């Protein structure tokens, strides 16, 4: 079931209110969504995960119900402030795509707040696209955003759902419908040419070997080769890295294969 505004709690950050959803009790498990959408990408997995954990699912700054930035900011700093506010650290962090980068950045910048991590569809913020399909889609989304072409941007954005090996017709139509609703909501918060105040974390790969908590990379087997290769590099480089592929899905395994996604994370949590 999709959470509505009344289901959200708001944290007064140093630069506006940041929204998050909580469910369950126990050790904290933080779910961090992918870019342009919001916490609702996890709607299909939150109920099961909340049976054993205190699930915290924020809308990251500039997305969903959370405030836009009015000054320079870093997403891992926002997450750290929320965890301290909730007295929820050290927590297990699980992020998908952009959310996976936020997890890795938080591991590097605020290691005392992280007990373990699940990084899905991502590696570090210094990931470099090499796959031609991936580069083409990224270029098209950037072009359409700059031109204010919402329809063109949405078409390119939804290409990540099936990935390079399928067409959108091969995916449950409810998934692109839900993603479209979330993405249009986030886009409505911004305007073409708006100043990007996000400050990226740098010098990441050189610091990854120092990560000493368990890290699971979890990916859809139909995702792009460069994403899968970078995720495997992350698992191989940290001190305690593991990797799992979920067959039959690409960039949104929590939506296409929620039971398998939940089972993999639950198995990982049992090892901690």
What are the structure tokens assigned to 107, written together? 């591991």
Task: Give the domain ranges of the chain.
Answer: 5-132+197-270
Q: List, for residues 245-256, the tens digit of each pLDDT value.
A: 999 999 999 999
CA distances from 120 to 33, 100, 227, 250 (A): 10, 6, 10, 10
**DSSP annotation of 5:** G
Confidence of residue 2 (pLDDT cuts 50, 70, 90): very low
Q: List, for residues 218-243, the tens digit of each pLDDT value.
A: 999 999 999 999 999 999 999 999 99
pTM of the model: 0.96
The kind and range of the H/E element at 231 are helix 225-237
Distance CA 200, CA 105 (A): 9
Q: Using DSSP bridges, classify how beta strands 54-58 and 28-32 pair: parallel, antiparallel or unpaired.
A: parallel
Q: List, for residues 96-118, the tens digit of each pLDDT value.
A: 999 999 999 999 999 999 999 99
* Residue whose C-alpha is closest to residue 17's, from 71, 66, 80: 66
Mean pLDDT of the chain: 94
Residues 6+ apart with CB under 8 A from 270: none
Fold of 5-132+197-270: Rossmann fold (3.40.50)
Percent of the chain whose predicted confidence (pLDDT) is above 90: 89
């Amino acid at each position: 079931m999709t959470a509505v505004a009344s289901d959200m709690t708001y944290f007064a950050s140093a630069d506006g209110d940041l929204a998050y959803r909580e469910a369950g009790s126990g050790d904290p498990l933080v779910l961090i969504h992918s870019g342009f959408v919001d916490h609702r990408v996890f709607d299909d997995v939150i109920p099961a995960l909340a049976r054993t954990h205190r699930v915290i699912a924020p809308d990251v700054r500039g997305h969903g119900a959370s405030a836009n930035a009015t000054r320079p900011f870093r997403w891992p700093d926002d997450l750290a402030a929320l965890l301290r506010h909730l007295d929820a650290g050290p927590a297990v962090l699980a992020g998908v795509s952009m959310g996976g980068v936020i997890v890795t950045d938080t591991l590097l910048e605020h290691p005392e707040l992280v007990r373990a991590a699940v990084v899905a569809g991502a590696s570090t913020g210094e990931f470099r696209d090499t796959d031609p399909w991936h580069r083409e889609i990224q270029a098209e989304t950037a072009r359409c955003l700059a031109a204010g072409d919402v329809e063109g941007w949405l078409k390119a954005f939804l290409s990540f759902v099936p990935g390079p090996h399928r067409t959108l017709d091969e995916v449950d139509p409810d998934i692109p419908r839900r993603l479209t609703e979330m993405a249009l909501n986030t886009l409505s918060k911004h305007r073409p040419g708006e100043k990007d105040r996000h400050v990226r974390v740098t010098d990441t790969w050189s610091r990854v070997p120092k990560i000493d908590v368990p890290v699971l990379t979890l990916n859809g087997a139909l995702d792009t080769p460069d994403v899968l290769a970078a995720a495997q590099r992350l698992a191989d480089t940290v001190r305690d890295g593991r990797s799992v592929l979920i067959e039959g899905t690409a960039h949104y395994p929590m939506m296409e294969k929620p039971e398998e996604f939940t089972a993999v994370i639950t198995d990982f949590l049992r090892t901690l």
